[in-house]
Amino acid sequence: MRVEILARNLELRPALRELVDRRVRFALARFADRLLAVRVRLDDLNGPRGGLDMRCRMTAQLRAGGQVDAEVTDLQIEPAICRCADRLARRVRDARATRLMLRRRRSRVAVSAPVR
């Protein structure tokens, strides 16, 4: 799994880069074989004015095709990163469960259709 980190209006310090990489890999470790890449975008929306303006957006590229997104806005960037990684892990899990459910439903319909 490849992790790409982009920052806009925010200094991407090595400690912040390490935090992002560690949190993403920890949250998505059980799905690592199903993911091609995770793109992380960090934004400071208001610049130096402050306020609820630190946004973290993550996009996971699934090996089976498609992508899953998560976004969190917070006062500080570190909690936004942690919450966004957890949210992305839940959405990847839900996307997998939905895919399995649809696969089962399709096979059940094909097998159990009565012939008259």
Residue 34: inside a domain, yes or no?
A: yes
Sign of the Cα pseudo-torsion (27, 67, 97, 94, in order): positive
pLDDT, tens only, 27-77: 999 999 999 999 999 999 887 666 668 999 999 999 988 899 999 999 999
List residues bridging with 6 in a β-sheet.
41
Residue 116: inside a domain, yes or no?
A: no
DSSP codes joined into one string, 3-41: EEEEEESS---HHHHHHHHHHHHHHTGGGGGGEEEEEEE
d(CA 15, CA 92): 26
Instruction: Say what percent of the chain tops pLDDT 90.
Output: 65
d(CA 16, CA 20): 6
Over 90: is that where the pLDDT of 115 sits?
no
Residue 59: inside a domain, yes or no?
A: yes
Range of the domain at 42: 2-111
Structural domain count of the chain: 1
Q: Is the overall model pTM greater than 0.75, yes or no?
A: yes
- The pLDDT of 14-27, averaged and rounded, is 96
CA triplet 75, 81, 84: central angle to 5 degrees? Answer: 105
Instruction: Say what percent of the chain tops pLDDT 70.
Output: 83
CATH number, position 19: 3.30.160.100
Q: Are 16 and 77 in contact (CB under 8 A)?
A: yes
